[in-house]
A = this chain, B = another copy of it.
Amino acid sequence: MTPGADGPAPRRRGRPSRTAGAAGPDARTRILEAARAEFAARGYDKTSIRGVARAADVDAALVHHYFGTKDEVFAAAVEVSFEPALDLPAILDGPSEDLGERLARYFIGVWENPVSRAPLLAILRSAFTHEAAATVLRGFVLRRLLERIAAELDVPDPAFRAELAASHMIGVAVMRYVIRAEPLATADPEKIVEMVAPTLQRYLTD
């Protein structure tokens, strides 16, 4: 990563960029979507601020203006990718005796959907290959997801238990969608929910 190379693109190259002033109120959203798509398709290493700007049809300076460094663009893209996590309160608010089942079903649903799966896989892949991406994921996973779950638990070591539950769901995703080991790779999602739910239930409520 060479931040210097990601500076504003000379006007003579590529398509004409819109100016910051003409970008409109949806430019930020467009940049985020482009960043998510670029990181998902190319990985952390090969994604540049210039490339994101090109995909969003804005000037690279505008990407810098809204998000700052490449790491910060990545962090914002991670947050967008985890937006389904905003459903969490509804999941956490239900009766505690089937919390494990609700979380397992929600999680499998997010991963079964190719649209939400692609960016999650890209984030995991980036965390494996780049310390900066691992740091972003660590900060995000801790701050937004696990702490929110842990805060609702009435068990000793809630943060530890929330992480164990999350680790199991991440492991299922790695085995099913990355390694694609059978029989898990083609198992009926409901069968996975049925087996995994009691594990999550034990970690989160016992």
Contacts and interface: CB of A to CB of B under 8 A. Distances in A.
A174 interface: yes
Interface string A18-58: 00000000000000000000000001000000000000000
A151 interface: no
Nearest to A146: B181
B129 A179 contact: no
Q: How many copies of this kind of chain does the complex include?
A: 2
Interface string A94-119: 00000000000000000000000000
A66 interface: no
A178 interface: yes
Chain A contact residues (Cβ within 8 angstroms of B): what range? 35 or more
A166 B175 CA distance: 8
A142 interface: yes
A195 B164 contact: yes
Nearest to A137: B179
Interface string A156-198: 0101110110111111101110111111100100011001101
A167 B178 CA distance: 11
A130 to B, nearest CB: 11
Given A141-B179, A163-B175, A174-B171, A124 B134 contact: no
Contact of A128 (B125, B175, B183, B198): B125
A182 B171 CA distance: 17
A127 B179 contact: yes
Contacts of A159: 182-183
Nearest to A191: B160
Nearest to A134: B179
Interface of A: 43, 121, 124-125, 127-129, 134, 137-138, 141-142, 146, 157, 159-161, 163-164, 166-172, 174-176, 178-184, 187, 191-192, 195-196, 198-199, 202-203
